[in-house]
Structure 1
Amino acid sequence: MTTSLYVRLPHRPIQSPERWSAGALASVPFALVREEGAQGAQRIQREGTSRPDELPGADRLILLLPAADVLLVPANVPPLATPKLRLALPNLVEDRLVQDAQQCHIALGPRLRAAPARGWRAPREPQSRALMIADRAWVRFILDTFAVHKHRTCHLLPAQLCVPFETAAPVPAPTAEAAGELVRAEPSLDAPAEVPAVAAAAPVAPATIALDAAPPTDPDAPVAVDITVRTGPAEGYGLRLLPANVANWLAIAPTPATLMVSPALRALAPGLSADPATATLDWSTWAAGARDALASGEADLCQFDFARGGVAGMDWSLWRLPIALAVLIVAVQLIGMNARWLTLRAEQKRLDTAMRAQLQTAFPNTPVILDPPAQMRRQVEQLRLAAGKSAPEDFLPLADRFAQAATGLAPDALLALDYHGRALTVTLKDGTDTAALRTAARNVGLNMDAAEAPRGAEATVPGSRWTVSIAQ
């Protein structure tokens, strides 16, 4: 369930854009509508007139541009990319405009003929579409004025595409037998004057004429009537007249037509509502027509330079499910990581308690236990030394292991052997295969790393120096 704010805009002022101010949109009629789904019921919650900065917030802001300010022109649109198409559109309609085409905002309107389906691929042939043309400065002024309103998405629709229009039902063509009988019929003096035609005339769809009070652009301006005419699915126009001239225009209005009059005009022109066939034009009609126009996806003037892109123009309602799934995945991951960390911490405490208990059992005289493995190793070494046994890091066990690894060395390959800091310092003759020696030392549990350069008197001994220690 979403809320939509429908706003009827006034006509473009006759002054130059430099003289426009907030007074051009000082008071606009609006209706706040709650909608239940794309085709659900629409309920008007609030309607009236207000300043743009005092309008109630809504999920969607739908601005209805007067039909007199939007020109619908049919054209064959070439299959171009969006940047190139924006530059090519003025060339298609410049011969039909009074003002410079570069000063107009040209948007793609409804399709006039059904295009062949090509899936995700762009069309390869020109498309017959209606182009929606409006004054660029006026459109920019409108969107900048309503930028302070709280909404998620903004749409700008031509009013002539928001009034209802009923297409005429197709008349079936005569059968071949009936046509043959008409062709074979011979003329007769006794025959009636009226002869049925072979093919019925094409049905004419009644136009829709909507009469409503025009929103004022100037408080001192006289009351005017906003006339919106829709003559086809993608055809329509509008004009603005004084109430005294409406009856004269209706005398030359297109026929057949469906007349719709707003309640605000019934007091100004009582003769408009005398016909019982006259329908009522209210906010329910505007809201339903605007929703149908938006559902087609081809009636929004917010295109190209005025497209509301980025984060501010996104419809986040479509991303609710993906965002909820992402949040759920992150939450499950965090819960799993914390549960695993708590399990490992409990295991660490259990192992630490077991090691402390084992150290306390083996060596009860240990005063303070800080690092049970290191203290256990130190106590065992002290016991081994007290018993007269050599430690693996002593000179003799270390030299014995190195001798096992160096069985493949030449007799003159070992130049010097030194013991310091529980490690052997071995000096080898240049050209000795140290790679094979290091592999053999690793097999007997020794680490053989390159030693630092010799200093002092030892610098006179040639060859390479290596440090041999017990592998940890």
Structure 2
Amino acid sequence: MAVLVLQIPPRQRLASRAADESVPPRSLAELDYVFSPDGLAVGSSGRAAPALLPRADSVVAVLADADVAWQRITLPKAPPARLRAALAGMLEEALLDDEDALHFALPPQAASGSEAWIAVVHRGWLAGVVAELEAAGVVVDRVVPAAVPGTPGGHFCLPADADADAAPWLTLVREDGITRLRTDGTLARALLPADPAAQRWTATPAAAAAAERFLGQPVEVFAEAGRVLDAARSPWNLRQFELAPRRRGLRVLRELMQRLMSPEWRPVRWGALALVVVQVVGLNALAWQQRRAIDERQAQLTTTLQQSFPGVRAVVDAPLQMRREAERLRAAAGRAGDGDLEVLLGAAAAAWPEGQGPVQTLRYESGRLTLAADGWSEPEIAGFRARLGPAGYAVELADGRITLTRRAGAAA
């Protein structure tokens, strides 16, 4: 599944804007991106306007280290509709900004009553970033932090506008949270662990030399593209509560297709394909067996016809030809058929209503016997039809006349 990772520029603080009023607020006119065809390796990277970004199955936005604050609390037991208000109440004393201006995000699979890290982001800024991207046609599926509390260590990098010989910034991950600070002061060295060699330290290529001098040991060179792709694989998603994506219509279908095409669903896809193949093979085998049975039945009919009527050479429709030959033999023997006049008259006489005199007029044509029924009452007509119905005859009444015919397929 192709993944597009967007590196969101750091939020501009009021202090930096006051220092230089000529610097405009940051916008998303262009974004650094990383494209991965499989979500594991970097395929390409670059910088482009949102409308010109590569298309991918999933879009992940990565926030800068300084834009996400972390607080560790015991998760309150509250219903989902009131969980955000409960979090704001618990974090009220630890927050510097007004709680209405902040956005909170829970860790994946968070359970009430357990201790967990809570991510805190400026809500208006993050909502504006998501809205600006979606207005440009870029649907953001997840928003993740660049670093999350966990394994102690750190990452060194230089800001985009910094000089090559400037002191790098350090994103320090400790058990009590994440701190971002400059390495040219004493605070960064004071916060280092007692044994830095036991931790994992990474740095961008531009900051690698300065980071090694600061630590006094080698560091792992980690390009920014690899770091943001590694962050995109995090299970975190900051799009929660009021910033949760609205899953409707085609978006729901797209997410289901993305989930179905993900690597973890590969066994399900192979199983479904195997099931379809087995069903197709089974249906073809059943159709072959049915066709063979039909062919055998037709061969038996042909053999029976030719044995019973040796004069028939070419067999086209065995049942029809057999009926015709039987009718021909019956006529040659002088026996009346089911639709002949004698048989129809006998059936009508057997069912004739009591009290009715002889029929005045009759007409016979092609297996249809029409009799005059003037003056017949409804019970007499119903009784006539009821007596002939079980014998396989159809009775129709129209314009004072009764028409008697033999129903097709009726037993003699």
Is the pair's TM-score, using the shorter chain for normalization, greater than 0.5?
yes
1:422 alignment partner in structure 2: 367
Mapping for residues 67-466 of structure 1, pairs under 5 Å: 67-75=65-73, 76-81=75-80, 85=83, 97=95, 101=99, 104-109=102-107, 129-135=116-122, 136-137=126-127, 140=130, 156-161=143-148, 164-165=151-152, 208=153, 210-216=154-160, 225-232=168-175, 235-239=176-180, 241=182, 246-250=184-188, 253=191, 258=196, 260=201, 262=203, 264-268=206-210, 271-274=213-216, 280-283=219-222, 294=234, 297=235, 299-304=236-241, 305-306=243-244, 310-313=252-255, 314-316=258-260, 317-353=263-299, 355-356=301-302, 359=305, 370-401=316-347, 406=351, 411-412=354-355, 419-424=364-369, 429-431=377-379, 434=382, 438=386, 441=388, 443-444=390-391, 446-448=392-394, 451=396, 454-455=398-399, 458=400
Aligned partner of 1:238: which letter?
T
**Paired amino acid for 2:264:** L
Instruction: Tell me the secondary structure at the aligned position of residue 239 of structure 1.
Output: strand
5 Å-filtered alignment, 1:36-75, equals 50-51=46-47, 64-75=62-73
CA gap of 1:256–1:413, structure 2 versus 1, over 3 A, is farther
Q: Does the 8 Å contact 1:413/1:429 carry over to 2?
A: no
How far did 1:71 drift? 1.6
Contact 2:34/2:42, CA 8 A, preserved across alignment: no
Question: Is the contact made by 1:7 and 1:31 (CA closer than 8 Å) also made in structure 2?
Answer: no
Indicate conservation of the 8 Å contact 1:31/1:283, yes or no.
no
Higher mean displacement: 329-338 or 94-103 = 94-103
The question of whether the paired residues in 1 share the 8 Å contact of 2:146 and 2:231 is answered with no
Alpha carbons 2:156, 2:208 under 8 Å: kept: no
Aligned length: 376
CA pair 366-105 structure 1, distance change in 2 beyond 3 A? same
Q: Hey, what's the Cα distance between the residues in 2 that align with 1:471 and 1:229?
A: 93
Change (3 A) 1:265 1:397: same
Question: Shift of the alpha carbon at 1:140?
Answer: 1.9
Amino acid corresponding to residue 47 of structure 2 in structure 1: R
Q: Which amino acid aligns with 1:164?
A: T
Rate the CA distance shift 1:435–1:50 in 2: closer, same or farther, 3 A: farther
Which consecutive unaligned segments of at least 5 residues does structure 1 have?
36-44, 116-122, 166-207
Q: Deviations over 1:179-220 (max 9, x none)?
A: xxxxxxxxxxxxxxxxxxxxxxxxxxxxx5x2411452x589
**Scaled by the length of structure 1, what TM-score is found?**
0.58
Change (3 A) 1:110 1:238: farther
CA shift at 1:390, angstroms?
0.7
Q: Structure 2 length normalisation: TM-score?
A: 0.65
Q: How far off its partner does 1:236 sit?
A: 1.9
SS in 1 for 2:105: strand
Q: SS of 1:327's equivalent?
A: helix
**Aligned-pair identity (%):** 22
Give the superposition deviation at 1:290: 5.9
Structure 1 counterpart of 2:336, one-letter code: S
Q: Is the 8 A contact 2:144 2:237 kept in 1?
A: yes
Which structure ranks higher in relative contact order (CA pairs < 8 Å, sequence separation ≥ 6)?
1
Residue of structure 1 equivalent to 2:20: none
Q: In 1, distance between residues paired with 2:222 and 2:37?
A: 10
Q: Once the 2 structures are TM-superposed, how far is the Cα of residue 330 of structure 1 from its aligned partner?
A: 2.8
Distance (whole Å) between structure 1 residues aligned to residue 286 and residue 128 of structure 2: 62
Note the C-alpha offset of 1:469. Answer: 1.7
